[in-house]
Each structure stands twice: as C-alpha cells, then as structure tokens.
Amino acid sequence: MKVDRIPFEIGKATPRADGSAKVSGKEKYAADYYEGDFLWAGVKRAGVPHATIKGIHTEAAEALPGVIAVLTWKDIPGENRLGIIRRNQPVLAETVVRHSGEAVALILAESRGALKGAIDSILLEYAPLPGVFSAQEALKESSPLVHEDNPEGNVIKAVSVETGACASAMGECDVVVGGVYETPVQEHAFLETEAGWAYRAENGACVIVASTQTPFRDCFEIAPVLGMDPGSIRVIAPYLGGAFGGKDGITVQCLLALALLHAGGRPVKIWWDREESFLAGVKRMNATMHYRLGAKQDGTFHALECRLYYDGGAYSPLGGEIMTLGAEHAGSAYRIPNVSVKGWALYTNNPVGGPFRGFGVPQVTAAMEQMVDMAARKLGMDPLSIRLQNVVRKGDRNCVGVILTHSTGAAECLETILGHPLWKTRDEWKKGAGLFKVRGVGLACMAHAMGYPPMVPDEARAKIELTAEGKIRVYAGVVDMGQGNASTYQQIAGHILVQDGPAMELVLPDTARTLPSGSSSASRTTYTYGNALIEAATDLKKAILKAASAQTGGTRPEEFVLVPDRVRHIPTGNEISLGELAGSMDGPARTATGYFRMPVTRERLDAIYMGPHLIFSYGAHLVYAEIDELTGQVEIARYLAITDAGKVMSPRVYEQQIEGATAMGIGYALTEDFKVANGSIVTQDLATYIIPTSMDIPRIESIPVEIAEETGPFGMKGAGEIGMSGPMPAIGNAICDACGIRILRAPFIGEAVHEALLSGNAEEADL
C-alpha cells in the first residue's frame, strides 16, 4: 500500500535533530549548569615533569575567604587509581609527579576568584627526578624509570606482527625504499573544554553531568577510586562540543565525585579553561617510524619492515592499544605477503598520550603512503597505478594475515580517482603555477578498522518506546559528540516506524535511563547502536500493529500499516492515532529493546595483541598543493576525498564527517605542532597552536563509494575516522611532486618546507 509520505527516508538528507537548539544557543552542554547554590572546584597541577613530592603546603589556601576545602590524595577514600587497561594513574598525585599537568590538590571554593587564589597559594615542595622525554630515550637501559614498579621498564606495550618471511623476502626485491618518519603531538582543540557538574540525587546517588564519550564505563572507573558502589553513581552525557577521543575516559569525573563528598550537599562545577585543557588533556601520541618497503620490478609489493615507536607519556591509559592499532594498519590498504612489524608504546615524562581520531592509524598511514610514492618514483611508475596494482580486494589477506571477507572498496576508491577530472587534468593544472610558485599533486590510500578488537566484546543495546502520549522515544546510550549520530538514530527509528520529526523524542546517554552501548569511538557508534536500534524498532512496530489488531477485534496485524502519527487499517482506510493506541497498551508492551554484537575474525586471533579486526572502511585522497618557493608556505588548492564507508544513510551527516576529518587532517599535516620541551608544554594556547579555519580549508569534494556492508545497518560502515589519515601523506606526496623533496617530519610548516627547499634534500638523499 502506498504511504502518504516516507519520513526519515534512508539515504536522503534529513534535518539534524540538534541543529536548531545548537545554533540558537538553547542546547545545554555540561558547562552550562549553574543552578542554585553551587561550589566551584579546581586543581593545583604539578608544574614539573618528574619529581618526588616532599610537601604539599595548603595552609595559606585554606585560610583564604571563600575556600571551602583543599583536598589531597590522603582525602581519597578509595584506591586513587585510574586507567582503562592499566590502573596506575592517580587522581591526585601521592609521592611522585610524572608529568607537568598532573593533578596534586583539589580545591572547593565559593567563586572562581577564590578558587584561583587558592590554587596560586598552594606550595609544592619537590625533590627533582631525572626525566625521560622521548620514546627513544625511554628504551635505553640507562634511562630513569617513569614507573618504578612496571616490570617492563618504560615499555607500556610491545607488539610484533610477522607474516611470510620478511628478512629473506626483502633480499628478493628489485627495489627497496626506506625512511624514518616522525609525526607530531596533536592537541584535540575541541570547542568545548573539559567540564562537568555533580549533585546529590534525592536517593543519595552521586549524579555527574559530564562532557564524556564513555558514560557507562565512567561509573565503573569512578567507583573504585572513591570506594563507591558503581550503582550509586549516575552519569549523564549531554551533547558534547567535540571530543575526537579526548573525552574517551576520565577527565573531570573523579574530581567532581571527590569534590561532592566534601561539598556539604551543594552541587559542584568544574570547567577547565583552554590553557588547563592544553596542560592536562590527553594528546595524539607522536611517533617515530622506521620503514622499508620492497617491491618487484613490475611494481608488486613483496616485503615490508617497520619499527614503530609511540610516545605514550606519563600514564597513557590506552597507549599500548593505540600503538597496536597502528601496527595492525602499518601496511595501509595493500597486499604484501611478507611483513615484519614491531611496535613499542613507551612511558615518558611528557603529557599523557591518549585516543585521538584515527587511534594510532594516521601516524603509520603518513609513513606508508609516502613510502608507496617513493617506490613508484624509483620504479618509474605513476603513484596511482602502483596503488591499484597492490591494493587489497575482497578475498585478499591484509598485512596481518586476515582474509578480507567483508566489503572491501579500496580499489573502487582509487578507480574513482582514476576517472575523476582532477586526476586527468593534473598536469595541465601544475603547469599554471605563477612566479616563484610550484605545484604538485599527491595521493594517499588508507584503511581503518571498525570497532573494538576481538578481545573486547563490541556490543550495543537499544531501547525504544511508544510513549503514553503517542510519541516515539529513542533511548540512545551512545554519546553524540557532534558527529550527528543521534539524528541518525531518529532517522533509523523514524524510517522503520514511519514517523517524522514532531513525533520523535530522543533521550541522550544517561546511565539511569538508557542501556549500555559502549563508547562513542572506534568508528563503531552508528554501526553497532544502529543495528541494535533496527531490531528494537522492528519489534516495536510489530507490537504496535498487534495492538491495533487487538483493539479492532478480529483483524490481523498484517492488515495494518503505520503512517505518521497513526495506524491505518488497509482494507477500510480507518485510522487509530498512536496516542489512542498507546492508551490501550501497558508500559512493557510499549517498549522494545535490541542487541547487537559486532562480528570479529575467527582466524589468526594470535596475529596481534587483542586480535585483528574483520571489517574496515577505506578511502583514497587526492590533493592539489601549491608551494611558495620564497616562504615555503603550502596552500591546498583542491581536495578530493573518496570513501568506502558502505551505504550512506544520511548524506549530510556523512559529508560533514568526511569533510571534518579531512580538515582536521590538513591541520595535522600543515600547522598543528604541539611542542613539549623537556616535559614542559611550550604550546600553551590557541594563539600559538594553529588549527585551520574556514579560510585555510579548500573546497573538499567528497564522493562515497557505496558498497553495501552486509552486516551494517542499511549497509553502512563507520565514517568517523577514515578521512583523518589521508591528508598528511597526500600533502607530503604533493610537496615532493612539486619540489622533488621529501620532508620526513610533519607538520609541513612553511619554515620546514623553506629549509628543505634551501638544503635541496632530494628524496633519494633520505634513503
């Protein structure tokens, strides 16, 4: 039967559910809570990278007017240890500080002024300790230990991947290229800095409203710190003003909970300013990567050898796992039969390394994709042909030996570039450079795994309800940190239940109301929760039609169809409103739940730490870059991003994901260089940490390669991270194409490019 209209049609752009409230300022973020008679909380930070604490002198601070309490580690009733994999990071430092942004004391005050005065009045007495300030230093036997009790010294995690016989295979190659690549520390620089609000519920529960990607996991991480029952903690996650991995775990949550214990029943607020966010927030880990790629004369890749060193900083809650994902992607999207990858994540006295969009993959992709261009140049091949010759296709084994049995669209991405006008007219464009300008065109191809590794069950649970008023309410347990997944959930439910905007309601993540569905991370959010929601919405649809059947007596559910706001009896055309129907259903009958667990590879689980991934998104990028020979400044003229993220459910949200990731990658490639000198942060604010603005981002043309992933909701795969890995190698390759120089350390700031131009370090000189 023809339905009047199809609300929330899959594959069509729909309005963002949060758009109006956000642009009008009505949306309430974690930093927007000010109700009632509340207290401010804040932190005194170490200020030195490595030292024994000889004394914490709080008397002057405690005596200041408006100061309620000054707390140290001795006031923490629990184990005072944070960590997702390794629980070794104190909420407040005890006897040693290991990085300059480490929290030492927590202050509660009546005002921000009193809080600042107290922070400034606390005196910390230290005995300095020698520090470790690079991954290379950390591996030396003579280096100081960042954690005296770590049985692996300064090693957080070491992994090894071996397929084929790399050592002998390298000798069989006609061409071998190599280099040592370095990528910088990157700061998340999200719009909303770390913030939260805590209060006591009527039942005594500790309620925390926080800007977090992981509300359910937060409860279990906070509880042992303070000796609490996880069930007595409720975490609410409103929309986030960006996160990109920087809020994947604890930032302010434990400090808020501790403050609440000493607040005398008053609510407590914490809100880091930008400088504190720079000082204390986790960073993208810098990496040094030794690469050798061997190929046969016909261009076939034959052997790859990599040694990867990631600087995890002082605690690195997921440093080993980030490096491991990098190792898994070290060969990018290529078929290479003989591979040897060894990787180390290492403790240093630098800022804490943590998740950042791409989770260790942008680093290795930057290195590998420049290696591919170097091999092509040495073989006299064009960079697109050599990629097409070696790129993985469905049924191939990837570099860790996993057979790619799911959708594999890397070749289709490259073939789209092959037929695109920007590729066909590249030589003509390059010839049009003006005086003292040179132009180059660069390519990159990439892969990105979806979800957690097999050792961590990747699950989601969805809940949906027909309310007593006849609305469809979606309970989303996965955070929307700005990427628009919450709107996509409404689109999925609305599509299945044939309801549109006014009939839809959304409950954002709340550990007391929504169901656990994992973190908003790992390109898994819409894939896992979307599948669970499809099951829940489909079951609710059946329940509604069954209720309609029961209410009319003697008719079959198959005779009914949902239309906006109503259920229609097909033979007669009679309709029942959803509100009327809801009145005849009890609460449980009006609620449905769904569950989904991501499939994982059953083969080669021992290939890598925590197991290899099964499903990947793919992409290929092309960039037009113009270099000013007088200043070294690189200007991106055009950008083409081709992506295989499965079928597109919501084109507008999809484009925003690809364009946002690409813009972030351009910043990573050209300007963003978070500098740390001997453990002290040099880049302290957005005046010196340069992120691209709309004036710096070129026109980005985004084209999806819509190969349906059979396990995905409506055929989709994750699109959140794949775009991040392309810009750095594509721009590096474009610079080399224009100037004949290979710059091995990013970012490619004007000074670095100019220096390379003056020194004339031709690509071959770096081998």
Q: Which of these, 408, 449, 382, lies nearest to 622 by C-alpha position?
A: 382
Do 716 and 649 meet the contact criterion of CB atoms below 8 Å apart?
yes
Of all residues in the chain, the percent with pLDDT exceeding 70 is: 98
Do 282 and 246 meet the contact criterion of CB atoms below 8 Å apart?
yes
What pLDDT does residue 5 have?
Answer: 60
Q: Give me the mean pLDDT over the 11-31 stretch.
A: 92
Backbone angles phi, psi at 241, to 5 degrees: -90, 55
How far apart, in Å, are the Cα atoms of 606 and each of 403, 405, 454, 552, 609? 14, 18, 11, 58, 7
Task: Give the DSSP H or E segment for 128.
Answer: strand 123-128
* Cis, bond preceding 747 (omega within 30 deg of 0): yes
Report the distance separating Cα 84 and Cα 88, nearest Å: 9
Cα 655 versus chain centre, distance: 17
Structure tokens at 180: 């040592």
pLDDT digits (tens, 9 = 90+) for 175-198: 999 999 999 999 999 999 999 999
Residue environment code for 420-439, b if the CB has 16+ CB neighbours within 10 A, otherwise e: bebbeebeebbeeeeeeebb
Residue 348 CB burial class (10 angstroms; 0-12, 13-18, ≥19): buried
Q: Which of 48-52, 675-679, 759-763 has the lowest mean pLDDT?
A: 759-763
Structure tokens at 113: 């002024």
How far apart, in Å, are the Cα atoms of 680 and each of 131, 675, 745? 11, 9, 21
Report the distance separating Cα 570 and Cα 555, nearest Å: 11
- Give the helix ranges, DSSP H, for 553-650: 578-583
Report the distance separating Cα 544 and Cα 537, nearest Å: 10
Residue 272's pLDDT band, with cuts at 50, 70 and 90, is: very high
Report the distance separating Cα 82 and Cα 103, nearest Å: 12
The yes-or-no verdict on residue 453 having pLDDT over 70 is: yes
Residue 698 CB burial class (10 angstroms; 0-12, 13-18, ≥19): middle
Helix axis angle, 383-390 to 410-418, nearest 10°: 150
How far apart, in Å, are the Cα atoms of 311 and each of 96, 136, 583, 650, 675? 20, 9, 59, 37, 13
The yes-or-no verdict on residue 767 having pLDDT over 50 is: no
Q: Give me the mean pLDDT over the 442-454 stretch.
A: 97
Report the distance separating Cα 288 and Cα 745, nearest Å: 9
pLDDT digits (tens, 9 = 90+) for 84-125: 888 999 999 999 999 999 999 999 999 999 999 999 999 999
Kindly calculate the radius of gyration of the chain based on its CA atoms and give it in whole angstroms.
Answer: 27
Contacts of 298 (CB under 8 A, 6+ apart): none
Secondary structure in 3-state letters for 138-205:
HHCCCCCCCCCCCCCCCEEEEEEEEECCHHHHHHCCCEEEEEEEEECCECCCCCCCCEEEEEECCCCC
Report the distance separating Cα 451 and Cα 216, nearest Å: 17
The yes-or-no verdict on residue 616 having pLDDT over 80 is: yes
Report the distance separating Cα 748 and Cα 741, nearest Å: 12
pLDDT digits (tens, 9 = 90+) for 477-493: 999 999 999 999 999 99
Report the distance separating Cα 40 and Cα 68, nearest Å: 10
Report the distance separating Cα 122 and Cα 135, nearest Å: 33
What pLDDT does residue 604 have?
Answer: 77
pLDDT digits (tens, 9 = 90+) for 131-143: 999 999 999 999 9
- Give the helix ranges, DSSP H, for 577-650: 578-583
DSSP state of 685: S
Do 361 and 369 meet the contact criterion of CB atoms below 8 Å apart?
no
Do 615 and 599 meet the contact criterion of CB atoms below 8 Å apart?
yes
Q: Give me the mean pLDDT over the 435-453 stretch.
A: 97
What pLDDT does residue 555 have?
Answer: 85
Strands 338-347 and 301-313: parallel
The yes-or-no verdict on residue 766 having pLDDT over 80 is: no
Neighbours of 512 (CB within 10 A): 12
The three-state secondary structure class of 239 is coil
Q: Which amino acid is at 698?
A: P
Top pLDDT among 55 and 555 is at: 55
Q: Give me the mean pLDDT over the 264-280 stretch.
A: 98
Contacts of 133 (CB under 8 A, 6+ apart): 49, 348, 349, 350, 676, 678, 679
What pLDDT does residue 73 have?
Answer: 98
The yes-or-no verdict on residue 535 having pLDDT over 70 is: yes
Summary mean pLDDT of the chain? 96
Do 253 and 208 meet the contact criterion of CB atoms below 8 Å apart?
yes
Report the distance separating Cα 738 and Cα 742, nearest Å: 10
Strands 206-210 and 233-236: parallel
What pLDDT does residue 3 have?
Answer: 52
* Sign of the CA dihedral with 484 first, then 488, 489, and 491 last: positive
The position carrying tokens 């789209």 is: 416
The yes-or-no verdict on residue 693 having pLDDT over 90 is: yes
How far apart, in Å, are the Cα atoms of 279 and each of 188, 282, 723? 12, 9, 27
Beta bridge partners of 513: none
